[in-house]
Amino acid sequence: MSLPPLATALAGVDLVHDRASIEQAIAAMAVRIRNDYAGDLPVYLTVMQGGLPFAAQLALELGARGLDLQFDYLHATRYGSGTRGGEIAWKHRPATPLRGRRVLLVDDILDEGITLAAVRAWCLGEGAREVRIAALAVKRHGRCVPGLCADYAGLDVPDRYVFGYGMDYHEQGRNLPAIYAIGD
């Protein structure tokens, strides 16, 4: 399979958020999360693959503020290598027992929330006492799963195809230190 060149995509994109604004938003989120979880050891579930860069930066900010975390991860996707969602496929479920625990799901973006809603429901089904969501980016469009929102939201992004800082362009560009949008 031939992927469209990332360089071609980058030639015609709009910069939505630069690295400095992303890092500032993550630091602000960390203060709120630390305050909400003070005295607790939450299960910190990174949603792979997109959530990895954001989750790592947020974890370091939380550690700098004195909040310890119990790390685990999950991999549930509706996209695979495509750009349109389908059925949810679980590639890895967390090994940490969730019964009676406070869980923080950490993901790169909250778009329509179908995957995050399914993951949250799974965590609650596993007995989690509470499940909150931290999302670096939130699309503001009114098409989100009813009742689902990010408890901790970093930045708004336009209702366009966005990539960078964990979000991909045909499985490329996740490691870009900024967020870009394609088209208008």
Check whether 151 has a pLDDT greater than 90: yes
| Rounded mean pLDDT, 151-175 | 95
What integer is the mean pLDDT of 126-142? 95
Helix axes 51-64, 19-37, angle to 10 degrees: 60
Q: Is 159 a catalytic residue?
A: no
Bridge partners of 74, per DSSP, are 47
Selecting among 14, 36, 108, 111, the annotated active-site residue is 111
Distances (CA, A) of 61 to 18, 20, 23, 51, 183: 18, 14, 10, 15, 33
Q: What is the pLDDT of residue 88?
A: 83
Both structure tokens of 109 = 């973006």
This prediction's pTM:
0.91
pLDDT tens, residue by residue, 86-110? 678 899 999 999 999 999 999 999 9
Domain-wise residue ranges, the chain: 19-163
CATH for the stretch 19-163: 3.40.50.2020
The strand ranges marked E within the chain are 13-17, 43-47, 70-77, 89-92, 102-110, 130-139, 152-157, 161-163, 179-182
Taking CA 29 as the corner, what is the angle to CA 167 and CA 181, rounded to the nearest 5 degrees?
30
Residue with tokens 């689902």: 148
Q: How far is CA 6 from CA 9, 137, 181, in A?
A: 5, 21, 13
**Predicted local distance difference test score (pLDDT) of residue 86:** 62
- Percent of the chain residues past pLDDT 70, beyond the cut: 95
